[in-house]
Amino acid sequence: MPEADSAKGEKKFYEDVPMKTPGFFLKGASSLDWGMKNRLSRIFNPDSGRTVMFAIDHGYFQGPTTGLERIDLTIVPLMYYADAIMLTRGILRTTVPPSLTKPVVMRCSGGPSILKELSNEELAVDIEDAIRMNVAAITLQVFIGGEFETRSVHNMTRLVDMGLRYGIPTMAVTAVGKDMVRDARYFRLACRICAELGAQIIKTYYVPDGFETITASCPVPIVMAGGKKIPVLDALTMAYNAVQEGASGVDMGRNIFQAEAPEAMMKTVHKVVHENLKPAEALEMYETLKNQD
């Protein structure tokens, strides 16, 4: 029986020493193939090394989420201000104009609805179809500690294998069940497992205590998940802290599309992520843009 890591000594994360990235701007990506690096460079801005990804894939398990009822009317116009869009193939093909050249991060898992056990997912998109849609990355949930943990991890390793075959990076989303503790210890475990098993990008939640240990111990870029709608200043502060503490950007949905002024919020998050705009100034920017709208 393998032993759990029960060493008594304090762990050393060297949070203040960034991992070296020889030959490429993103950590963990130096040895990847040209196509993979090119796709990553479309998602992450090579100058800042960061991204503002816009998550609108909620419908794949919870139907027409508040703010996403009419993607054609309210969401498509916002896509032009994002660095990348994360969505399902149904919405891409029915609603997004093919002339939009933003990199697409394609939701490739699904199965259970909000009415059932969410960790019971399967892969739900073929790699051939992902290629047909010219995606920049493929993505799925990984439920570490969830009821169907092994299935979701194997979904990920299969997706990683398919992606590697064609130079398409996989983004693993660390999903948190209702009863799970959201702390640094849990997210270090979840993120590291996903990276060790091959994901090239990890999307995970921000925690106020020890987030830098999560980014430091994960050898691939982490993007911060937005989570449920919170006050604007709190959301901007969370995004600011995440990038200061080692995240390579954000993947936000509800805190953008459920904001009173979504376009203002998107533009402000962009400044926070790429230009390190501080939270108080960012709030000011948001209010100014909101009033202009």
Maximum separation of any 2 CA atoms in the chain, in Å: 63
188 contacts: CB under 8 Å, gap ≥ 6: 213, 214, 217, 218
| Residue 254 in the binding site for ligand R5P (CB under 6 A) | yes
* Segment (H or E) for 53: strand 51-55
d(CA 144, CA 195): 13
For the annotated catalytic residues, the residue numbers are: 203
Q: Does 57 bind ligand R5P (CB under 6 A)?
A: yes
Size of the site for ligand R5P (CB under 6 A): 11
Rounded to whole angstroms, how far apart are CA atoms 236 and 252?
11
Least distance to ligand R5P, CB of residue 57, Å: 5
- Residue 137, φ and ψ in degrees, nearest 5: -160, 160
Residue choice 55, 168, 224, 264 for contact with ligand R5P (CB under 6 A)? 55
| Residues 181-220 as x/- pattern, contact with ligand R5P by CB under 6 A | ----------------------------------------
Cβ-based burial of 270 (10 A; exposed 0-12, middle 13-18, buried ≥19): buried
Site mask for ligand R5P (CB under 6 A), range 142-181, x = bound: -------------------------------x--------
Q: Which of 58, 102, 188, 274 binds ligand R5P (CB under 6 A)?
A: 58
Check residue 252 for interaction with ligand R5P (CB under 6 A): yes
Closer to ligand R5P at the Cβ: 15 or 149?
149
**How many separate helices (H) and strands (E) can be counted in the chain?**
12, 10
The answer for 35, left when phi > 0, alpha when psi is -120 to 50, beta otherwise, is alpha
Q: Does 226 bind ligand R5P (CB under 6 A)?
A: yes
Query: In the bound complex, what is the minimum distance in angstroms from residue 61's beta carbon to ligand R5P?
Result: 7
Residues near ligand R5P, by CB under 6 A: 55, 57-58, 173, 225-227, 252-255
